[in-house]
Structure 1
Amino acid sequence: MLLFIDLKLLAEQIKATSLLEWISVSFGVASVLFARKNNVLLYPTGIIGILTSGFLLIDAKLYAETLLSAYYLVMSIYGWAIWNNQSTSGASKISRSSAKEQKITWAIAILGWGFLYFMLTTFTDSDVPIVDAFVSSTAWAGMWLLAKRKLENWIWLNVSNLIAIPLLFHKELILISFLTIFLFIVAIFGYFDWKKELDQPNAKLKTV
């Protein structure tokens, strides 16, 4: 019965999906697929997806989510710049996180969790502030690592996806939850694709 209800909700959401939302989802999916292939096109496609979703979030009066999208936009611009930076200060190839970068990543996740929990409990009527804040803060950490072209970005992003999936089902956001399952699967392949390329000493850099 639950499966039947979920499929019914999914069908209803698909019918109600606007053209702008389809564009946003399509570019979001394209961005993740490009990321899996270690292709810098993930950033321009991702930026289009973020901007189009921003209009949808504002229209829905989801201002907190809009601010999160603004963070993703900034990190996408930053990541695009340093992926194309061929100097030693750039991120022209895949690498593993250093000990310092791991500490920064944990700091982003933990401090971000606390900050978002405070914001959600203080300024919103969220009924799932702990889980919602965790999903966002781990995604923040993953986005920072992605901008640095670090292999571990996939782990952090999938921790976020793993918790987001049941949360989205709980909120009956069926279409988005199925999309997140798809992104979770792609991220698993992305990790192993990046690891394989990282283990190849003469792997070619993929750029625009």
Structure 2
Amino acid sequence: MENFIEFDLLWQQIQATSLLEWIAVGFGVTEVLLARKINVLLYPAGIVGILCSSFLLIDAKLYAETLLHGYYLVMSIYGWAMWKNRSASGAGQISKSTIHDQKITWSIALGGWVFLYFALKYFTDSDVPILDAFVSATAWAGMWLLAKRKLENWIWLNVSNLVAIPLLFHKQLILVSFLTLFLFVVAIFGYLDWKKELENRDAKFRTI
């Protein structure tokens, strides 16, 4: 009986989901599916989703995630330009992170976490500064790697997703939390697809 009541409450919350949240979710799904297929159109789809999600996050007082979406917007424009430029020049294929890339990635993640935590703790009314900051900082790192077409971007994005799922659910953003769960699953397959692509290219290169 208790489980039925919980499911009924969940269903009511889904039914009460705003049109803006549905739009954000739709474009979020489109973005990650295009990313898995290594399609540059992931960026314009992502930009629409980012703009919609930002309004929802501000209303939920998830300020670090709102700031994260601002970073997403900048990185989406940057990544879009990088991917189109590299496609034209025949460069910018999928690759693994170098030691230098890893140092930058960890600097973004750890530095971002500390900075965002103190900003949220002392300058906002956020009630989840540690988790909000962590989700955003690890996603920052993942988006930087995605723009560089580095395989490890999927790992960092999924670390962010893993913490974001219960956080969004706690904030009553039910549909967005389900979207994030979906993104988590797709990111696993995205990693495997990119890894296979990389291995096939390396095997072909060795036979030449």
1:41-96 superposed Cα distances (whole Å, 9 cap, x missing partner):
110100111122234445x2748243321111000000011111238999631111
* Aligned equivalents of 1:139, 1:108: Cα separation in 2: 9
**TM-score, normalised via structure 1 length:** 0.86
CA shift for structure 1 position 101: 0.6
1:165 has 2:162 as partner = no
Deviates more, 1:117-126 or 1:102-111: 117-126
Counterpart secondary structure, 1:84: helix
Question: Are the structure 2 counterparts of residues 3 and 168 from structure 1 closer, same or farther at C-alpha, using a change threshold of 3 Å?
Answer: farther
**Contact 1:78/1:147 (8 A) holds in 2:** yes
Counterpart secondary structure, 1:96: coil
Root-mean-square deviation (Å):
2.5
CA shift for structure 1 position 18: 2.3
1:116 is aligned to 116
Q: Mark the runs of 5 or more structure 2 residues left unpaired by the alignment.
A: 204-208
**Contact 1:82/1:90 (8 A) holds in 2:** no
Question: Are the structure 2 counterparts of residues 6 and 161 from structure 1 closer, same or farther at C-alpha, using a change threshold of 3 Å?
Answer: farther
1:150 is aligned to 150
Deviates more, 1:5-14 or 1:182-191: 5-14
1:206 is aligned to none
1:13 is aligned to 13
CA shift for structure 1 position 132: 1.5
Percent identical among aligned pairs is 73
1:27 is aligned to 27
AA paired with 1:30?
A: T
* Aligned equivalents of 1:173, 1:63: Cα separation in 2: 11
Q: Mark the runs of 5 or more structure 1 residues left unpaired by the alignment.
A: 204-208
* Aligned equivalents of 2:109, 2:126: Cα separation in 1: 20
* Aligned equivalents of 2:90, 2:131: Cα separation in 1: 34
* Aligned equivalents of 1:78, 1:91: Cα separation in 2: 16
Deviates more, 1:31-40 or 1:166-175: 166-175
AA paired with 2:119?
A: M
* Aligned equivalents of 1:87, 1:28: Cα separation in 2: 23
* Aligned equivalents of 2:80, 2:157: Cα separation in 1: 18
**Contact 2:142/2:157 (8 A) holds in 1:** yes
**TM-score, normalised via structure 2 length:** 0.86
**Contact 2:75/2:144 (8 A) holds in 1:** yes
AA paired with 1:186?
A: V
Aligned residue pair count: 202
Give the structure with the higher percent helix: 2
